[in-house]
Structure 1
Amino acid sequence: MKFHKLNDDCSWLWELNGIKVIVDPWFTLSQIDGHRLFSEQFHQTHQPLVSNLPQIDYLFISNPFTDHCNKETLLQFDSSIPLIAKKSILKKIEKWNHFQRLIPLQDAPFLIKEYKPSRFLDFVHSAYLFDTEEGSVLFAPHGTKTEGIPKVDVLVTTTTRYHLPFWLGGTVNLGTQQAELLYKQCEARLFLSTHDERKIGKGLVERFAKKEYTNELPFVTYLSAGDELDYVII
């Protein structure tokens, strides 16, 4: 398995079973939720150009929010590249009339299973299991609180805590304590951090956001944008 961090937030290029998948590409300067007066976030670091990326086999989108499902970025990819996501996200992307093949999780080239959060009406904290012949990856970009998580080889999740009042969504990124619990729960051999960029925010949401960052947990591997890691299960 190969993991290439494309930016300091949540965009990746993974190679699993020889299949190259770009995960959650967001390469525009900023992303807006609803309206820029409500929430706009800006990258602080240089972003890759879609035209400079290697040829890929699939795109995977984990969440409908614009820092994961970024229309301006995704429309730069060739329309013939198949895009994988759960059905609710595919419905959103289908309206763009761009991608020729939209693939639900059950039709992916290897097993992708969503573990939904235990809390009712929680639309943020899903985890995805990628299970391949080379090994298994659990991807939980905001963290997760759910039951039945299996043992995996690689855990990819956030160590950042991003908290909002309940009326703005509550705790979005669950932070280090929950990350450590998840790490112990799934007994991963490798823990890669993701979705931890210290972005600049503007708008109403930024006024109320409380953020806690760390890059010092001894059991976590922190990659910077452009870093690559080959991982072989022995």
Structure 2
Amino acid sequence: MDAPSAQLHTEIRDSVVRAFATRRPLLHHLNADTSWLLQIPRPASAVNYGSRIYYNILIDPWFIGGQSDVAKWFSQQWHATESAVKSVAEVEELARQVEILAGGLNLGRNRGRRKALKEEEETFVDAVAISHEFTDHCHKDTLLEVHRDVPVLATEKAASLISSWNHFRTVITTPTFTEENPDWRDYSLTPLPAWLSITRLTASADALYYHSALLITFATHPFLSATPKKRSSLHIYGDDPSSTISGTDAAECVIYTPHGIPASALTPIGLADPPLHTLAFLHGLHDVKISAAQQLNLGAKNGLQAQRILQAKYWVATHDEIKQGGGVIAWFLRRKVWTLEDALKEAKVEAEGGDTVMGGTEFEDVNFETVDNGESRILH
């Protein structure tokens, strides 16, 4: 490497290191569709010297090969764009490199201790979250690459399916976050850390929970209150008096809804106590239907309504890959490709007065992000 190239390499690396030093969540798009790695910085009180900085959640992984629901003659799809990440091993390496750049793995010091930790930590994936039982979200071949000790949180049907593979030691049915129990800490199920919960939001009229969302909630700051709060009675291992959390500080959340979720189903977020700040809202722009009979992906217009309620700092498009398809169902799929600008224009036309709703100042602070295949974002 010549001197100018070496200098550029050093400057880029230094810039990345400075960015990671902010200790903010990282979001990585692993394919062109809807597979993600969310890296959440652990609270300072949960990071020991030499231990990892990030808690890594793998969401709906499907990297290579096809997916089929019901039967291949009925529906089968393949990625039209080659996935940037092609295996769980590559996810592991991505997470490892981030830890090195963030200073979480001090490879040059305490080599004996690091070797012992490496042997103990056989995976950098800390949890897997599955939003639906459909095989573009719950892809068996990809999931079987994940270390069996990694806990999986999945919807009821997906959890039953995954359990039938006899691969993972811990498969948990994701609880539903409700306004009747608005404290996110009550949903922190063992073996998740006490400062993190993974739940879901559902719509009352959605019997199949197709238009639901994953709600990933976390407190990255130390709990300051002296009054501890017991871990959830929902957890599957009975009472554990040593597992307590404390404090009443507001937490942040990431809402992931690959098919979209009706705005009316977001009521529990506004009623959360302690309050929840929506850091990122993952909702696609494309409107996808099976003829006129069944709405699949709700698209940009629904996303605008939901974002108006959530006021998420980042709105990130997901599940908008136009995949290669086969089978009977492919003949009936109807897709309308929206841009955010087009959705805003139509919303203004539909709104009474033409310019009083959506598209004005209420979206000035929203960072709409198109995070492409293989791209990453720091969620400041």
TM > 0.5 between the two? Answer: yes
Read off the aligned partner of 1:121 and give its amino acid letter: A
Specify which of 247, 253, 266 is matched with residue 136 of structure 1: 253
Matches for 1:1-234 after TM superposition, within 5 Å: 1-17=25-41, 18-47=54-83, 48-54=86-92, 55-105=124-174, 106=187, 107=189, 108-109=192-193, 110-134=196-220, 135-145=252-262, 146-147=264-265, 148-150=267-269, 152-165=278-291, 170-217=294-341, 220-232=368-380
Contact 1:63 1:69 in 2 (8 A): yes
Tell me the alpha carbon deviations over residues 192-225 of structure 1, each in whole angstroms, 9 at most, x when there is no partner: 1111111011111110100122355486210111
Contact 1:127 1:144 in 2 (8 A): yes
Between the aligned partners of 1:153 and 1:124, the Cα distance in structure 2 is: 23
Tell me the matched-pair count. 230
Structure number with higher strand proportion: 1
Provide the aligned C-alpha RMSD in A: 1.8
Deviates more, 1:22-31 or 1:3-12: 22-31
Flag the structure with larger Rg.
Answer: 2
Deviation at 1:50, TM superposition (A): 2.1
Contact 1:149 1:186 in 2 (8 A): no
- Shift in alpha-carbon separation, 1:63–1:82, aligned structure 2, 3 A: same
Between the aligned partners of 1:222 and 1:216, the Cα distance in structure 2 is: 10
Structure of greater relative contact order (alpha carbons < 8 Å, 6+ residues apart): 1
Read off the aligned partner of 1:49 and give its amino acid letter: S
Contact 1:11 1:24 in 2 (8 A): yes
Between the aligned partners of 2:331 and 2:169, the Cα distance in structure 1 is: 40
Deviates more, 1:103-112 or 1:133-142: 103-112
Between the aligned partners of 1:103 and 1:158, the Cα distance in structure 2 is: 27
Deviates more, 1:204-213 or 1:81-90: 81-90
Between the aligned partners of 2:200 and 2:125, the Cα distance in structure 1 is: 23
For structure 1, which runs of at least 5 residues remain unmatched after alignment?
none
Deviates more, 1:132-141 or 1:31-40: 132-141
Between the aligned partners of 1:6 and 1:89, the Cα distance in structure 2 is: 21
Between the aligned partners of 1:9 and 1:45, the Cα distance in structure 2 is: 9
- Shift in alpha-carbon separation, 1:120–1:83, aligned structure 2, 3 A: closer
Between the aligned partners of 1:204 and 1:104, the Cα distance in structure 2 is: 32
Contact 2:198 2:217 in 1 (8 A): yes
Tell me the alpha carbon deviations over residues 78-99 of structure 1, each in whole angstroms, 9 at most, x when there is no partner: 2122211233321111000011
Deviation at 1:149, TM superposition (A): 4.7
Identity of aligned residues (%): 27
Between the aligned partners of 1:82 and 1:112, the Cα distance in structure 2 is: 12
Structure number with higher helix proportion: 2
Deviates more, 1:206-215 or 1:101-110: 101-110
Deviation at 1:120, TM superposition (A): 4.2
Q: TM-score, normalised by structure 1?
A: 0.91
Between the aligned partners of 1:113 and 1:102, the Cα distance in structure 2 is: 14
Contact 2:55 2:126 in 1 (8 A): yes
- Shift in alpha-carbon separation, 1:149–1:182, aligned structure 2, 3 A: farther
SS in 2 for 1:150: helix
For structure 2, which runs of at least 5 residues remain unmatched after alignment?
1-24, 42-53, 93-123, 175-186, 221-251, 271-277, 345-366
SS in 1 for 2:329: helix
SS in 2 for 1:19: strand
